[in-house]
Amino acid sequence: MHISPQFLLLGAAAPVDTTIVKPRGTSTIPDYFQTGYGPFAGPTQAGSAPFLAQTNPAPFGKHAYVPNTPVVTDIPIIGKADGAESFKRMGNISPYMPNPSGFGVKEYSLPPGTNITQMHMVHRHGSRYPTSSASVATLPNRIAELLSNGTRFTGNLEFLNSWEYQLGREELTALGRQQLFDSGVLNWFNYGGLYDPSSPLIARTCTQVRMLQSAENFLNGFFGPRYAENVTLEVIIEETGFKNPLAGNKACPNNNNDRSAGGDWASVQWQNKYLKHATDRFRRSMTGNPNWTIEDTYLVQTMCPYETVGLGYSPFCSLFTEDEWSGFEYSFALSYYGGNGFGSPTGRAVGVGYVEELVARLQHRYPQPDEGFAAINETLDTNPTTFPLNQNLYLDFSHDTTMFSMLTALGLTQFEQFLPTSGPPPNHQLIVSHIVPFAARFNIEVIKAPRPVRAKRSKDPRDSAYESKGGETTYVHMLINQRTIPLGRSIPKCGKRDDGWCELQTFIKAQKDNIVKAKYEESCFGNYSVPAYGDITTGAI
């Protein structure tokens, strides 16, 4: 069934500076600017209060004590004496970190006389408890089943004999709130000069609780606790059947069925390979000959990052080798490539709504439905109140899978390399923890220069960064987690630039072409055969 684009968004009423919640319908504020938890907030459950001062078994055999800051991420890897890198290899459930290696392009300061005139940000929510459907939440039942059947755990698994599941579900953890507040502070330092106090902003988020929490914590860090005086938060319905470019999967049925499940299949094939030795090792630490599976081992490994961001420390983190943590990271790469990237028939379609909005904002005009803009919420995106075109700062809050699809819809072929289930190819770029960890952010800068900036910058600081001829030129500069994306690598007409920039009109033209390549209607609503993993390589059917 085709989904009509004519949907309104909803929220609930709660002024930011008071604890009094007004009943729905009694406020003069439109529903879409009310930020209390409304009917589309989704289910949540708070986790147990952490007690890290009691549960932290520091100093993990080290000679010197390392204070936690605030969570414990210095847990050593089996067989690796020089510290721990496991927390940088946890895919989309990694704690936030700036991209540690970059995307293959140099970072440059702006040449004198060049100015950033606009910034478009898309931000993922912070660290959260597992979602309601997360398989990791089934681990306590599995452990209880084994214990009731007489199994006992020994060695480094002995703690499982008395382990209790203490995580909540769906909402942000304390660390997640801190990540967004810290990001707000960081972005204020980076882009605060773009804010015009005479023109309050519209920022956008979704109705799920963690999305509201993330936006509010970010804005508190950016503007301070009285942020409502500077920005109005627009809350877009996140529910199946509602068009929301910040949660594009909700209006794309084929993203939520077997047609886009190839990545999950590929990830399981890889898990069966890289966790074989770990599963055998775990079985040797159990009595009673239990039917312990590779799936169980993967749940145990997944519990490590979730307990860490929820409780501050997890005993599960020390159970795996360096190769097994690298394998864990690659399991996410396979899932995202086949489910949300160029290996998915809906990879582009889920993210194309945001691309449509970005092009419209860059051109200072509303999206034009007659141009094939099918993935947007036309009710909201043609209304000056809910889709302003005169802002210097655009602040949007989204989810990891939609954000990865945004990159696919933007045509970033840097991440299109086929990923085999046998293991990671050399130097592949799709490292999920570098792209969409908890609290990931994309920053797209619009930069105006008085003359064309040289594609090849001189190493001599005395040399001008500008070409000798030409007039005012505007560029696009995109960063993922504080590192530059080389746009010319994916958009050849941008050129091979040292700085990764792309001339604005060239970028806009390329994105208009990418909107067509998404094949939104056919990819999301078409009745096509389920493709096997590897059959799709363009991100569309």
Q: Using omega within 30 degrees of 0 as the cis cutoff, is the peptide bond preceding 70 cis?
A: yes
**Is residue 303 a part of any domain in this protein?**
yes
Q: Check if the beta carbon of residue 351 is closer than 8 Å to that of residue 402.
A: yes
Q: Residue range 152-171: average pLDDT?
A: 96
Length of the chain: 541
Of the pLDDT bands very low, low, confident and very high (cuts 50, 70, 90), residue 8 is: very low
For residue 201, the enclosing domain spans: 115-149+153-158+161-525
**Is residue 137 a part of any domain in this protein?**
yes
What tens digit of pLDDT does each residue of 283-293 get? Answer: 999 998 789 99
Helix (H) or strand (E) holding 115: strand 115-124
- pLDDT reading at 11 higher than 50: no
Task: Count, in order, helices (H) and strands (E) of the chain.
Answer: 15, 10
**Is residue 76 a part of any domain in this protein?**
no
The CATH number of the domain holding residue 379 is 3.40.50.1240
Q: Residue range 331-346: average pLDDT?
A: 98
**Residue 502 CA to chain centroid, in angstroms?**
24
The count of structural domains within the chain is: 1
> 276-283 vs 262-274: helix axis angle to the nearest 10?
60
**Is residue 341 a part of any domain in this protein?**
yes
Q: What is the pLDDT of residue 17?
A: 34
Segment among 3-7, 85-89, 423-427 with least mean pLDDT: 3-7
- pLDDT reading at 64 higher than 80: no
Within a 10 A sphere around the Cβ of 45, how many other Cβ atoms?
11
Instruction: Supply the mean pLDDT for the chain.
Output: 91
Distance CA 467, CA 473 (A): 11
Q: Residue range 226-252: average pLDDT?
A: 95
Dihedral sign for Cα atoms in the order 503, 506, 508, 511: negative
Segment among 7-21, 147-161, 191-205 with least mean pLDDT: 7-21
**Residue 39 CA to chain centroid, in angstroms?**
24
- pLDDT reading at 372 higher than 80: no
**Is residue 533 a part of any domain in this protein?**
no
**Is residue 372 a part of any domain in this protein?**
yes
Phi-psi region of 286 (alpha: psi -120 to 50; beta: other; left: phi over 0): beta
- pLDDT reading at 430 higher than 70: yes
- pLDDT reading at 19 higher than 50: no
Within a 10 A sphere around the Cβ of 5, how many other Cβ atoms?
19
What tens digit of pLDDT does each residue of 95-131 get? Answer: 999 999 999 998 999 999 999 999 999 999 999 999 9
What tens digit of pLDDT does each residue of 381-393 get? Answer: 999 999 999 999 9
Distance CA 349, CA 61 (A): 50
Within a 10 A sphere around the Cβ of 11, how many other Cβ atoms?
27
**Is residue 69 a part of any domain in this protein?**
no
**Residue 488 CA to chain centroid, in angstroms?**
23
**Is residue 356 a part of any domain in this protein?**
yes
Tokens 């109005």, residue located: 232
Distance CA 374, CA 356 (A): 9
Q: What is the pLDDT of residue 21?
A: 37
Of the pLDDT bands very low, low, confident and very high (cuts 50, 70, 90), residue 39 is: confident
